[in-house]
Amino acid sequence: MKFYCISLKSLLPVLLIFSSLTGFGQQKDSFTLSGKITNQDYDFVYLKYTGPAGQRVSDSAKISNGNFQFKGRISEPTVVFLNGKMKSQSMDDPNFTSIFLEPAFMTINLKAGDFKNAELKGSVSQDQQKALDKLKAPIRKEMEPVLEAYRKEKNHEKAAEIREQFEPFNARMDKVDFAFFAAHPDSYVTPYMMRFKIAGLNTAAAKKIYNSWTKRIQQSSYGKYIAEEIKKLESGSPGSKAADFTAKDINGEQLSLSDFKGKKYVMIDFWASWCVPCRKGNPHLISVYHKYKEKGFEIIGVANDDNAVEAWKKAVEQDKIGIWKHVLSGYNRNASEAEKAAYINERYGIHTLPTKILIDKNGTIIGRYGGGGEDDAAMDKKLEEIFR
């Protein structure tokens, strides 16, 4: 039997070919995305994603003979945004898509004007996301006429009425998503999609889903985000002490939640001038206020109108709700992370408007209505029990 001694120098070309095919030598937290694109009339494609340290990365790749390549670093499967020359800033733009990249070698085939049907290979998470989307596709198809009517409607109030027709479709898609969460506790798609569901969950339901995940998923960036959102939701749910806040009211006077401690029950009404359901509920809230204000009940409206102060004041006047207290939420898109922590909505885990938080005289939350809580009927019942 003959034995052959092969030098490393002669073997190197073979190793290089092997590494390009199998991922040999790929760093643990790096990715390579090799792409092909057709029908384009532009020279660059663009990629935006979050790097391992949480930094936002914007990259571009030149198209050469229909080919392009991106290389970068991500520590885990991550949703990224890929686009060519866009005709609008909308995520519905035909030259825009979002995909799951992984720390691996991947390939993608694109057609200009049809980025939504990109073919990505080498990403397990993208395969899972695609399978989930396929299950919901028939529901989305049924929903399309309603969506089209919503897109075309220019009247804000009529558009809001059309939007209410989304609910049966959304409920059906929620069922598909929650079944996916239960079947895939170790998928990165699960915590990513959970970001869009937590607004409609109470603390117990959110915790149950989170606790079903593997440790790997709980410790992922998406998993940590959900854990933080659950904390915020819990801080604004019955049994928790209400977070104090101080702000200038609509009349320019200083107002603190603690001013009412030991004196009154307080309902914090999280709303906005542009929120049609919020404003439709104001007549009922007015009747509730008149019914209980002399018995030790106060309302503080917290408006998400920091960038539309005049619209806020006009809505308060039009809806005749100046009878109770009003402050702005404190939102500032350019704020630091520390400053964002003081944002009133954040401190109460507010994900949707309207949401109402009922606080007793001791400063303890005893009711949450809307956004992960009960409905207005439950609110009316609770107030009746308190003040009868």
What's the pLDDT tens digit per position in 99-142? 999 999 999 999 999 999 999 999 999 999 999 999 999 999 99
Reported as a pLDDT band with limits 50, 70 and 90, residue 157 is: confident
What SS3 state is found at 147?
helix
Residue 51 has φ and ψ, to the nearest 5°, of -80, 175
What SS3 state is found at 321?
coil
C-alpha distances (whole Å) from 343 to each of 90, 257, 282, 350 are 27, 14, 23, 10
Strand stretches in the chain, DSSP E: 30-38, 44-50, 56-62, 67-73, 78-83, 96-101, 105-111, 119-121, 246-248, 254-256, 265-271, 297-303, 325-328, 355-359, 365-369
The reported pLDDT for the residue numbered 179 is 98
Looking at residue 312, its amino acid is W
Task: Report CA torsion sign: 170, 173, 175, 180.
Answer: negative
- Rounded CA-CA distance 191/217 in Å is 7
The reported pLDDT for the residue numbered 332 is 81
Of 274, 294, 293, nearest in space to 285 by CA: 293
- Rounded CA-CA distance 131/124 in Å is 11
List the Cα angle 50/188/78 in 5-degree steps. 20
Q: Is the pLDDT of residue 66 over 60?
A: yes
What's the pLDDT tens digit per position in 73-101? 999 999 999 999 998 988 999 999 999 99
What tokens appear for 158 in the block?
């009529």
Q: Is the pLDDT of residue 273 over 70?
A: yes
Tell me yes or no: is domain 21-121 CATH 2.60.40.1120. Answer: yes
Q: Is the pLDDT of residue 339 over 90?
A: no
The secondary structure of 116-134, three-state, reads HHCEEECCHHHHHHHHHHH
246-387, which class in CATH? alpha beta
Q: Chain-centre distance of CA 189, in angstroms? A: 14
Q: Is the pLDDT of residue 39 over 70?
A: yes
Reported as a pLDDT band with limits 50, 70 and 90, residue 340 is: confident
Edge-to-edge strands of the sheet including 96-101? 56-62, 44-50, 78-83, 96-101
What's the pLDDT tens digit per position in 288-300? 999 999 999 999 9
C-alpha distances (whole Å) from 312 to each of 101, 299, 329, 359 are 42, 16, 11, 24
Burial 13-46 (b: 16+ CB within 10 A, else e): eeeeeeeeeeeeeeeeeebbbbbebeebeeeebb
- Rounded CA-CA distance 379/388 in Å is 14
**Cis before 354 (ω within 30):** yes
Q: Give me the residue spans of the domains in the chain.
A: 21-121, 126-235, 246-387
What percent of the chain has pLDDT above 90?
Answer: 84
